[in-house]
Chains A and B, each alone.
Chain A
């Protein structure tokens, strides 16, 4: 390594700063709340060979997607054909993208006639067509049901918009204004990255830039290599099951075996279920992305993201399995499976690095979407028809306990980073009232340090009628979160119709098109986190506190 440590470390901070600046400029010009409030987007910078050199901290689910996808762009447009001002767009899950709502952009950064870097942004668009509003439907069977699929095409050519592409997009999505606004924001993000990389090259020279970037990648590689050194010849394997309950009653099996081979960490997903005839299939880029998340969570939680981290990884996924589906399998609800992948990676690596590990976390993803005419007296304006309204919610659960502390309660875990919707905002915007919003006592797995507690919400329909669909995972004993080092697994998730009444009904893990009337209620409950260490070693102080605070229901 030829660069000096200090220059490299400063440069590293500057790269992070640029990615964060891209993120700010994208977010600030975005149109949709999914970007503004849910951070469902990503910004990053790559070298012309596709090595990621920096990525902003938005949602972890997009880690490592860009370098996977950019090679597919190169297949169509060799890098030397990218002109200054070009931007390439793609959202094809079978060309390195994730699911169709995630639209990816790539633009070259030219300095003195040479491409020195690639600027990239990904944003989750609110809708890209398909059979349901919002595009995502877990019961899709083929990608053809999942809306517009753009192959790699230029959306900007030498700085000029390619009108045909914008028109095709506008003509295929349900909210063209939102999509156009968010695309414009993505372009702004790319341009910010280009401008700031050019500034950096002015400062360090092109050669200096290249050397320092290489130094940063080497540093991350060194960091991870040193972290995995201790694994030695130990082998670890684990299985995580998730509910299907659409294409099959058989749960989907995710399996991973890991060991060190030639100094690299092999992650072999052999033995995982075949792809399914539903939207739970997880495209390869999302699988890779969540492997990166899991490895980072265990070995390098505060390391800036770049491709150097992944050099010592050897990821093996059999084609045609649920983690590397073959076209035209549906993938739109891949985030459910995706969170299970991170869970599996963490579960497999934990025994190899117990000092950074914890009990298993909630990854149950309890979500609903309700739609209907808001005919509440206060909402209807005199002389006007009542308006259609849609609302959705997603609940967090418990993280695992770890050596020294109970797991956090009420958290959106792993790939996600979404805020909980305020009950007051929900009721102000839609005819759905939150009746209760509370922690579920005893939902944390027992242990010396117990798992965190799940959120439970009861909702009531306030309009004459509404249609409700939803899904969740970790609803059975075999899919719930796992304990570690002697700790016990966490509480299951559940969905109930008309809870605490004489017509209370259990809902399945995916429920579609439930027709509810005014006054009817339903309950969603997330999963708790797993415990760490043997329950009998739990201190009396912590036991007393659990009783006093009601974290554990007194028997």
Chain B
């Protein structure tokens, strides 16, 4: 079998081809085409298939992760959406949650809603909180709304009516009328996209579905055509925000699930690598040119959330729990009015890029600082594909930071790197403390072009156990794309006191959701023996507002429902998350959720077992400046392709490879283990 994946980023398109017959992986990188285009995929596909000596038609499965949705959202280049909301609620997107992005500045802006006020229509209707119709939706008003919509020439229509998650009769009636009238425009209903209480997140999520729908549809049509034209017959699968896989059909049904397709692959790959290495708890650290993404794998599973904020707006769909900070290789170091070094949030981006790229950049970026310190060098930076000039890097750091502060250029460069590290330390700490995790028991899995360069500082600062560097850090996210399964999720409101839940009733509601999801899996062509359903219930203490999602059994004929076990599970998790839990307080359920999985055959990665330890041979040395009040010191250089399993060496050392650079500090030791993974640990006690 041949499995192919492509991860399209801003700068590069990463490809991985796994040949299960030969048990090996081919990796490649090609420059990305212009934003929103899939053109680089076919180019890269041709190259990697040729390198592997295959035909394009040999590929059995093609999985794709993409940032088209994220970019269209962040840059506000999505579709022209018209929304229909309940009378009186036209401004729900503009009002939002009434919080300001920054606490103190008098000069700030809120992110603009994806649907402007002028394209939001109201319709007279009202359903109460118990689902009773208070005011009927009228055919006349529907006819009026249809006329108004037509005049606005939409590319997509989104509908969100109050309390539709309890009773969807008005939304369905309106939706049907809209679909009959506008046959070639997609219509998204909030009772399909996100049937949960609270009008703002539900409206925004439904608005996003409309905003991304036509964009993603167009992108997929091009991609499907390109693949077909080039003779690829393998089925196309897409990475979703929650780390599940989607068919193009399902992606079109709820495009909002594709918003964070891009960074999900790295987290899935991390969980898989953790399993292979038998490491249960990981912090993932993916650092590229403009940002650093962090996530956690706890007990072997990636953490998921049912809602998150993106660019200050709620997206209430299951996503992997990824935190992003604006610290990437291109982030700019600067001096504030009080004489402190700051890093970011501004980035030199890809144009002009870091000063050392020689494209007119004058700001001192993290990359420039790293060049000054000898961590990056022209001869091995990105395999020589991007030329860098140390003189320009030095000049930028000297002028922007060293001179104003009266520091040496090395100390200034180190200052930039250390301040960036401090920001990343804080992100990891917050991520772990917020979730009640003790990071000292966690390994840091570093990938992306820049992750492995700074990770050995982070474990030292945070007291984490070790750094894990995969064989191909730069294309690691693309590898993750091949390791997922088809996933669908659905939920129903279900408000009951836990003690009074009737086994028969809850079983029938769950059976209803399961049959809906089974239809999705049918449509995706997943055979029955490759399906699994996981059920859960959102519970909370009566009168409190923080609910927790608790796994329950899938209904069967016998006594599957265990109310007291569910209660105990809730109490235990509540205690972990919030530090206290009451054994006597009654619980109530809010909604039922089901996650359907359709298993996809995965490539069997065979790797050489651990081999006898042996000392690695450096190919040379270079002077680096890596410690405060230190000095220039000689640092061993290793080529990644020369490091075989079992190799060990001690810091200070740098491992160079095409897609990344790995730094090992003095006092740390590196050991190459199975799957060609480098593990870096402190040799002396806790520093």
A contacts, CB < 8 Å to B: 5-10, 12-14, 16-17, 20-21, 24-25, 28-29, 31, 33, 36-37, 57, 60, 181, 184-185, 188, 219-220, 222-224, 226-227, 293, 296-298, 300-303, 346, 356-358, 361, 376-378, 395-396, 399-400, 402-405, 408-413, 417-420, 422-425, 427-428, 433-439, 455, 458, 548-551
Q: Which of A10, A24, A400, A550 contacts B434 (CB 8 A)?
A: A24
Tell me if A436 and B106 are in contact (CB < 8 A): no
A400's nearest neighbour on chain B, judged by CB, is: B106
Tell me if B338 and A435 are in contact (CB < 8 A): no
Tell me if A219 and B579 are in contact (CB < 8 A): no
Query: How far is the CB of B277 from the nearest CB of chain A, in Å?
Result: 29
A60 to B405, CA, bound (A): 32
Tell me if B200 and A302 are in contact (CB < 8 A): no
A356 to B105, CA, bound (A): 8
Tell me if B129 and A301 are in contact (CB < 8 A): no
Tell me if B341 and A419 are in contact (CB < 8 A): no
Jot down 16 A-B pairs with beta carbons below 8 A, ordered by A.
Answer: A6-B415, A7-B628, A17-B430, A28-B578, A36-B546, A185-B579, A223-B340, A296-B104, A378-B129, A396-B98, A408-B109, A417-B99, A424-B163, A433-B128, A437-B89, A455-B98
> Which of B420-428, B470-478, B603-611, B646-654 forms part of the interface with chain A?
B420-428
Query: How far is the CB of A306 from the nearest CB of chain B, in Å?
Result: 11
A528 to B426, CA, bound (A): 37
B162 within 8 A of A: yes
B200's nearest neighbour on chain A, judged by CB, is: A422
A424 to B72, CA, bound (A): 30
Tell me if A9 and B341 are in contact (CB < 8 A): yes
Tell me if A223 and B99 are in contact (CB < 8 A): no
Neighbouring A residues of B338 by C-beta, 8 Å: 219-220, 222-224, 226, 303
Tell me if B107 and A356 are in contact (CB < 8 A): yes
Tell me if A420 and B97 are in contact (CB < 8 A): yes
B675 within 8 A of A: no
Tell me if B415 and A13 are in contact (CB < 8 A): no
Query: How far is the CB of B521 from the nearest CB of chain A, in Å?
Result: 32
- The interface bits of chain B over 610-642 (1 if a CB of A lies within 8 angstroms of the residue's CB, else 0) are 000000000000000000100000000000000
Neighbouring A residues of B415 by C-beta, 8 Å: 5-6, 9
Neighbouring A residues of B91 by C-beta, 8 Å: 410, 437-439
Tell me if A9 and B419 are in contact (CB < 8 A): yes
Tell me if B198 and A425 are in contact (CB < 8 A): yes
Known A419-B98, A423-B89, A438-B91; judge A29-B105 contact (CB<8 A).
no
A355's nearest neighbour on chain B, judged by CB, is: B107
Query: How far is the CB of B666 from the nearest CB of chain A, in Å?
Result: 18
B218 within 8 A of A: no
A57's nearest neighbour on chain B, judged by CB, is: B103
Tell me if A301 and B104 are in contact (CB < 8 A): yes
Which of B163, B418, B579 has the most chain A CB within a 10 Å cutoff? B579
A20 to B422, CA, bound (A): 14
Q: Which of A7, A60, A422 contacts B103 (CB 8 A)?
A: A60
Query: How far is the CB of B395 from the nearest CB of chain A, in Å?
Result: 20
B86's nearest neighbour on chain A, judged by CB, is: A423
Known A5-B340, A6-B415, A428-B129; judge A439-B98 contact (CB<8 A).
no
- In the A-B complex, the 10 residue pairs with the smallest Cβ-Cβ separation, listed nearest first, are A223-B338, A29-B579, A378-B130, A436-B88, A396-B98, A13-B422, A301-B104, A301-B105, A6-B415, A420-B98
Tell me if A412 and B98 are in contact (CB < 8 A): yes
Neighbouring A residues of B95 by C-beta, 8 Å: 396, 409-410, 420, 437-439, 455
Neighbouring B residues of A298 by C-beta, 8 Å: 106
B102 within 8 A of A: yes
Tell me if B132 and A378 are in contact (CB < 8 A): yes
8 more A-B residue pairs beyond the given contacts A57-B103, A396-B95, A437-B88, with a C-beta to C-beta distance below 8 A: A10-B418, A222-B338, A223-B337, A301-B105, A408-B100, A410-B98, A419-B99, A424-B199
A412's nearest neighbour on chain B, judged by CB, is: B98
Query: How far is the CB of A457 from the nearest CB of chain B, in Å?
Result: 9
B96 within 8 A of A: yes
Tell me if B128 and A6 are in contact (CB < 8 A): no
Q: Which of A7, A223, A409 contacts B94 (CB 8 A)?
A: A409
A400 to B106, CA, bound (A): 8
Tell me if A293 and B104 are in contact (CB < 8 A): yes
Neighbouring A residues of B108 by C-beta, 8 Å: 408
A24 to B426, CA, bound (A): 13
Neighbouring A residues of B116 by C-beta, 8 Å: 549
Tell me if B197 and A358 are in contact (CB < 8 A): no
B contacts, CB < 8 Å to A: 87-92, 94-100, 102-110, 116-118, 128-130, 132, 162-163, 197-200, 336-341, 405, 407, 411, 414-415, 418-419, 422-423, 425-426, 429-430, 433-434, 436, 544-546, 577-580, 628
Which of A361, A427, A548 has the most chain B CB within a 10 Å cutoff? A427
A458 to B116, CA, bound (A): 23
A514 to B132, CA, bound (A): 29
B428's nearest neighbour on chain A, judged by CB, is: A17
B340's nearest neighbour on chain A, judged by CB, is: A9
Query: How far is the CB of B603 from the nearest CB of chain A, in Å?
Result: 40
Neighbouring B residues of A361 by C-beta, 8 Å: 106
A395 to B96, CA, bound (A): 12
Neighbouring B residues of A427 by C-beta, 8 Å: 128-129, 163
A28 to B579, CA, bound (A): 7
A441 to B217, CA, bound (A): 37
Tell me if B107 and A402 are in contact (CB < 8 A): yes
Q: Which of B163, B197, B578 contacts A29 (CB 8 A)?
A: B578
Tell me if A6 and B418 are in contact (CB < 8 A): yes
A356 to B436, CA, bound (A): 39
Tell me if A411 and B163 are in contact (CB < 8 A): no
A356 to B102, CA, bound (A): 14
A222 to B197, CA, bound (A): 49
Tell me if A297 and B130 are in contact (CB < 8 A): no
B426's nearest neighbour on chain A, judged by CB, is: A17
Known A29-B578, A437-B92, A455-B98; judge A226-B200 contact (CB<8 A).
no
Q: Which of B89, B109, B110, B430 contacts A24 (CB 8 A)?
A: B430
A227 to B337, CA, bound (A): 8
A413 to B407, CA, bound (A): 41
Neighbouring A residues of B130 by C-beta, 8 Å: 376-378
Neighbouring B residues of A548 by C-beta, 8 Å: 118
Neighbouring B residues of A437 by C-beta, 8 Å: 88-89, 91-92, 95
A192's nearest neighbour on chain B, judged by CB, is: B433
A359's nearest neighbour on chain B, judged by CB, is: B106
Neighbouring B residues of A436 by C-beta, 8 Å: 87-89
Neighbouring B residues of A12 by C-beta, 8 Å: 340
A303's nearest neighbour on chain B, judged by CB, is: B338
A10 to B425, CA, bound (A): 10
Neighbouring B residues of A458 by C-beta, 8 Å: 88
A224 to B96, CA, bound (A): 34
Tell me if B339 and A222 are in contact (CB < 8 A): yes
A461 to B109, CA, bound (A): 35
A410 to B107, CA, bound (A): 15
Query: How far is the CB of B372 from the nearest CB of chain A, in Å?
Result: 14
A499 to B464, CA, bound (A): 61
Known A9-B419, A378-B129; judge A418-B98 contact (CB<8 A).
yes
Tell me if B579 and A25 are in contact (CB < 8 A): yes
Neighbouring B residues of A400 by C-beta, 8 Å: 106
Which of B96, B163, B419, B433 has the most chain A CB within a 10 Å cutoff? B433
Neighbouring B residues of A425 by C-beta, 8 Å: 197-198
A358 to B130, CA, bound (A): 45
B335's nearest neighbour on chain A, judged by CB, is: A5
Neighbouring B residues of A403 by C-beta, 8 Å: 107
B429's nearest neighbour on chain A, judged by CB, is: A17
A417 to B99, CA, bound (A): 6
A219's nearest neighbour on chain B, judged by CB, is: B338
Known A10-B418, A437-B88, A549-B118; judge A5-B106 contact (CB<8 A).
no
Neighbouring A residues of B199 by C-beta, 8 Å: 422-424
Query: How far is the CB of B164 from the nearest CB of chain A, in Å?
Result: 10
A298 to B341, CA, bound (A): 21
Q: Which of B105, B337, B433 contacts A21 (CB 8 A)?
A: B433
Q: Which of A20, A36, A222, A227 contacts B426 (CB 8 A)?
A: A20
